[in-house]
Chain A
């Protein structure tokens, strides 16, 4: 399974990663070889087999609706790359 340059660029855009021109070639080749490696699963017949999304029988879990102290605002903003007062600063969207 050889990925075309266009496919690599498309996947990168879906993943919100930008690749330099020289990276596209390398990454494309690596992705292709990884996909080629995983192709072997097509040799197995999985007709009628249920997928395992998760090893545990996961059910929704609810917690009590009780008051709890929230994170301290200053601690939360400590990691913000850019802030303005008590807001995260983001680029203009509209």
Chain B
């Protein structure tokens, strides 16, 4: 077993016992990047030197017998919409191609303080808008389980990197399923915490009332460890909730007897791939065997979630992305020699050249939905339906501790297949979006395979009940083998990797 194949907690144990150094672990992951990155293309920026320096610093602290905590010396990749001081942060957009933030996102700062070894910045759909990572302005990422298929999106680079062993874990962001759907496609654990539990300071905003930073990990214990590191109040984020955060690993008991689990029947209907339905139903059966009290339930407004999401998210995006004007940072349209553009032309050309097609599409939809005469019919109406969706959840959580559904309706599809029709692509998020509209926590767990491709099962909890989520997820994982499977990825031989790397 190579070091890059292990989980964060396994590596932390090895470090603690003095069996490996942080530098050896960083070296293993960096060599793995050399070996498979040409095929997977998960990274936009690899921070090799910084990673090695950080690993050596952890080793130096250990020499002095300072305990550095469970994530110290563990290599992590960051989605490229998290600001990293001194390291370019592009959002996979031409608009920010050369942007080097002067500060760290709070979650990044917290990881640095925990001794993290950051291996680089991971590919994504431009400004986190998309479900395949094909809307990256630079190149698409490929699914490590089948390189002809997409890794999902928008945290596709993050999910692919973890699955391929190019990072031990990763941070992503989830606005409508952007952590959970790629986690499902790549066979890893993806968690979207409750809105407000994790700081959004330094996360480049897409839709501010929906965005949340979360993790992609190889197993549930790692998920709990990462949440321990990143959760908690941040005075720099006015939507961050001031509350005590528990030790999330204390919920990993392996016991889940008596948990009441609602199976959302609308999410097993004709929209779902039938073979996947079988796999997820088997997963639900497992929860029952483990002592869960499983019952079918109805989520009446689920079918409207995608429709209102594609009003609310673009509306907020059109407002957030108004800051990209070519003046203070980011791309600016070239001025021809001798002829100065006027301000209006500068805005128009900068934004039209800097943003890609999906971003423009959403800015236009959002602008339309917020414009005079349409505000009530689209935006306000959508916000009222959002209230109905929250009420559905509130009713369901009177009877259940958790809800379960598939994470995505389909297996990872071939690259290019669904790019022509935005609405078909939007439906890849049909089971994940309602969670963001209500601000709830949810996790996607590997629950089996169909035709060699991973399938994810989604668990949803009431706000701030991450502990329940992790407890049930852990019990499931301990009694199933799926999280131990790794993609059959060959890549270059070590010798070629050194030459080419």
Do the beta carbons of A38 and B378 come within 8 Å of each other?
yes
Pick the most buried of A17, A19, A42, A75: most chain B CB atoms within 10 A of its CB. Answer: A17
Could you say which residues of chain A place their CB within 8 Å of the CB of B235? Answer: 61, 63
Q: Identify the interface centre among A31, A50, A76, A91: most chain B CB within 10 Å of its CB.
A: A91
A:16-60 near B, CB below 8 Å: 16-19, 27, 30-31, 33-35, 37-42, 44, 46, 49-56, 58, 60
Whether B361 and A31, one on each chain, are in contact in the complex, defined by CB atoms closer than 8 angstroms, is yes
B303 CB, nearest partner CB in chain A, Å: 8
* Pairwise interchain contact A79-B387, C-beta atoms closer than 8 A: no
Chain A interface: which size bin?
35 or more
Q: How long is the Cα–Cα vector from A15 to B380 in the complex, in angstroms? A: 20
Question: Beta-carbon contacts of B328-367 to A below 8 Å, as 1s and 0s?
Answer: 1111100100001111101111011001000011011111
Do A56 and B329 touch (CB < 8 A)?
no
| Residues from 431 to 460 in B contacting A, C-beta threshold 8 Å | 437-439
Measured in the bound complex, the distance between the Cα atoms of B328 and A79 in whole Å is 7
Are B361 and A49 in touch, CB under 8 angstroms? no
Question: How many inter-chain contacts with C-beta < 8 Å in the A-B complex?
Answer: 158
Contacts of A54 in B (CB 8 A): 209, 239
How many chain B residues sit at the interface, stated as a range, is 35 or more
A49 to B351, CA, bound (A): 37
Check if A76 sits within 8 Å of B102, measured CB to CB. Answer: yes
* Known pairs A27-B361, A34-B365; A40 contacts B304 (CB<8 A): yes
- Selected from B303, B332, B348, B371, the residue in CB contact (under 8 A) with A16 is B348
Given A14-B367, A38-B307, A44-B388, the answer on whether A81 and B381 have CB atoms closer than 8 Å is no
Chain A interface helix/strand/loop/mixed: loop
**A79–B90 Cα gap in the complex (Å)?**
12
Cα distance, A92 to B387, chains bound together (Å): 47
Task: State the CA gap A49–B422 with chains docked (Å).
Answer: 30
Chain B residue numbers with a CB within 8 Å of A17 are: 348, 351-352, 355, 360, 363-364
**A residues within 8 A CB of B102?**
71-72, 75-76, 78-79
Give the nearest-CB partner of A19 in chain B: B352
19 contacts between A and B (CB under 8 A): A11-B368, A14-B371, A15-B367, A18-B349, A19-B352, A27-B361, A33-B423, A34-B361, A46-B385, A51-B380, A51-B386, A60-B238, A61-B238, A75-B102, A78-B100, A79-B100, A79-B102, A81-B331, A91-B343
Q: Which A residues contact B (CB, under 8 angstroms)?
A: 3, 8, 11-12, 14-19, 27, 30-31, 33-35, 37-42, 44, 46, 49-56, 58, 60-61, 63, 71-72, 75-76, 78-82, 88, 90-93
Given A27-B364, A52-B383, 11 new contacts (CB under 8 A): A17-B355, A18-B352, A30-B422, A31-B361, A34-B423, A40-B304, A41-B311, A55-B209, A55-B390, A61-B235, A79-B100
